[in-house]
Structure 1
Amino acid sequence: MSKTSSMGRGIMAVLAVGARHAAGHPGGTVADIAVDLGKDRSQVSRNLRTAEQEGFLTRTSRRTYALDWSILTDAQLLTERRLQSDGATALDDLAREADEACFLGVLHGDSTVTIGESVPASSNLVGSWLGRPYPAYCSDAGQAVLWEASEAEVRTVFAAVAFVRHGPNTPTDVDDFLARRQAARARGYSVVDEEAEPGLYSLAVPVRDFKGDVVAALQIVGIKERLEPRREACAAALVAQGEWLESRLGYQPRD
């Protein structure tokens, strides 16, 4: 789209208002936005009025323009729907390629909760995990859903958590968890090796939305003796499906 078209100029005006919000300002006057864009004030005024009429911006009593936050609410609802619908597609494709149980998990407090699953009969896993919480410090999705959280945020999540041992390799404390997450980041995916229970092995990647926030984790879970020897091939499939799902949620990687 050309930035010189009327639509392009309108979008640039909306983005300029958004940039002011991102910088900590409540919005901007016509003069502010004109300076930010280096454009003629009368032209910018027309573009801002049009964006207001279309519902992208709102005008305050102080004659400043601000984003109409209902747009972001609508976008968030669309993200949630796509996470369910496109997440199901990613899970089925991944389960077919890996021939293992695949799950989509989200963070809820200090636990992870499964919101989607695809479990082939050959996986030998019994029962459904849908809606069931599990401690994030040792769950299959834990490191991935906290992938981009700051160290302080991770410590806050686990502030009141006792690191009870669930498997032979369960993290012993938050520092242990952070070290494992650091290794996962360097690798490009997490490996949870008998942390949740003996004999269970899993791989996971974070899934980001249009804002760049991690909203879920895509996982492959299986018996260690079966999944570990195929780790590299399964991880490649996992990363590819994770990137596809992120693209469906509007995520655009930064260069």
Structure 2
Amino acid sequence: MSKTSSMGRGIMALLAVGSRTKEGLPGGTVADIAADLGKDRSQVSRSLRGAQQEGFLERTEQRSYTLDWSLFTDAQLLTERRLQTDGATALEGLAAETNEGCFLGVLNGDSTVTIGERVPAGSDLVGSWLGRPYPAYCSDAGQALLWQASDSEVRTILADVAFVGHGPNTPVDIEDFLTRLHAARRRGYSIVDEEAEPGLYSLAVPVRDFKDEVVAALQVVGPKARLEPKREAGAAALVSWGKWLESALGHSSSQ
């Protein structure tokens, strides 16, 4: 057999173990994985041993193969570091193109938290948002960070949230928020128009990592009177830098 086909079998076996883990099962034996894949046991056994030797899998005393979580922990730490370093590059580039305040946010429970910012002198934004939480239902980053969440997941996340009006256009309830989220997905980016505070306007896109999971939101924020008229140009720059940052995090456009 060719080296490529051997690699393909190894990936299939690894994904099969991952699927069992996702279903809440404690990994699987050679017989389990062979049955899942409909493959010969000896062939599957070689693939599992190879994945174990490469550090992707562990073998328990019960002869069951499980994911080696240390590998995924290392990958997660790498993603967080790249968000800080490459995120700073994306913020610099985006701010230079838009001359508006640019931010990078993450989700923390039902709030968003800013982890990076670049605020040009002429942006009219005062103070720093670094480390400050803001309600996800009306924050500049909220819709983008919940981009991949199902309606039921959004309802669960925001179930205990009181929809307090922070601006004239703040969503009034979860269903209102979902309507805006659905529109943002169709558009390709979110628009938060005086939802966070009066006069404030923002655009945001989700940032996905190598697992195709949203790990951050990239945002352009400014006064509505100035940013709304140049929305299309701002959105184009935002989408472009968002894709650049996703690529830096290992996300493939084919995912």
Q: Same fold (TM over 0.5)?
A: yes
How far residue 222 of structure 1 moved from its aligned partner, in angstroms, is: 0.5
Where do residues 48-67 of structure 1 align in structure 2 (5 Å cutoff)? 48-67=48-67
Kindly report which structure 2 residues correspond to 1:148-187, keeping only aligned pairs within 5 A, or say none. 148-187=148-187
Task: Report the more deviating stretch, 156-165 or 45-54.
Answer: 45-54
- Give RMSD over aligned pairs: 2.2
3-state SS of 2:78 partner: helix
**Which residue in the other structure is 2:122 paired with?**
122
**Which residue in 2 is equivalent to 1:196?**
196
Cα distance in 2 between the residues matched to 1:133 and 1:10: 43
3-state SS in 2 of match to 1:105: strand
| CA shift for structure 1 position 224 | 0.9
Aligned residues: 254
Give 2:149's aligned amino acid. Answer: A
Deviates more, 1:245-254 or 1:215-224: 245-254
1:103 alignment partner in structure 2: 103
The Cα offsets for residues 190-215 of structure 1, whole Å up to 9 and x where unpaired, read as: 10111111111100011112222211
Q: Which residue of 2 aligns with 1:90?
A: 90
Q: TM-score, normalised by structure 1?
A: 0.90
SS in 2 for 1:183: helix
Q: Match for residue 147 of structure 2? A: 147
Amino acid at match of 1:170: T
Cross-structure match for 2:232: 232
Q: Which moved more, 1:179-188 or 1:149-158?
A: 149-158
> Are residues 1:3 and 2:4 paired?
yes
Write the distance in 1 (CA, Å) between the matches of 2:9 and 2:184.
42
Percent identical among aligned pairs is: 75
1:164, distance to aligned residue in structure 2 (A)? 1.6
**1:187, distance to aligned residue in structure 2 (A):** 0.7
- Greater shift after overlay, 45-54 or 216-225? 45-54
Distance 1:4 1:174, change over 3 A: closer
SS in structure 2 opposite 1:4? helix
Q: Letter of the aligned partner of 2:104 in structure 1? A: L
Task: Verify the 8 A CA contact 1:57 1:65 in the aligned structure 2.
Answer: yes
Q: Deviations over 1:139-174 (max 9, x none)?
A: 111111111212222222222222221111111111
Which whole-Å deviations, capped at 9, do the CAs of 1:53-110 have from their partners, x for residues lacking one?
3322111222121211111111111111111111111111111111111000111222
Q: CA deviation at 1:40?
A: 5.0
What 5-or-longer segments of structure 2 have no aligned partner? none
What amino acid is aligned across from residue 221 of structure 2 in structure 1?
Answer: V
- Name the residue aligned to 1:242: 242
User: Cα distance 1:2–1:134, how it changes in 2: closer, same or farther (>3 A)?
Assistant: same
Aligned positions of 1:3-22 closer than 5 A: 3-4=4-5, 9-22=9-22
Q: Does 2:234 align with 1:220?
A: no
SS at match of 2:192: strand
Task: Tell me the CA shift for residue 41 of structure 1.
Answer: 3.8
**Contact 1:106/1:114 (<8 A) preserved:** yes
User: How far apart are 1:123 and its partner, in Å?
Assistant: 0.9
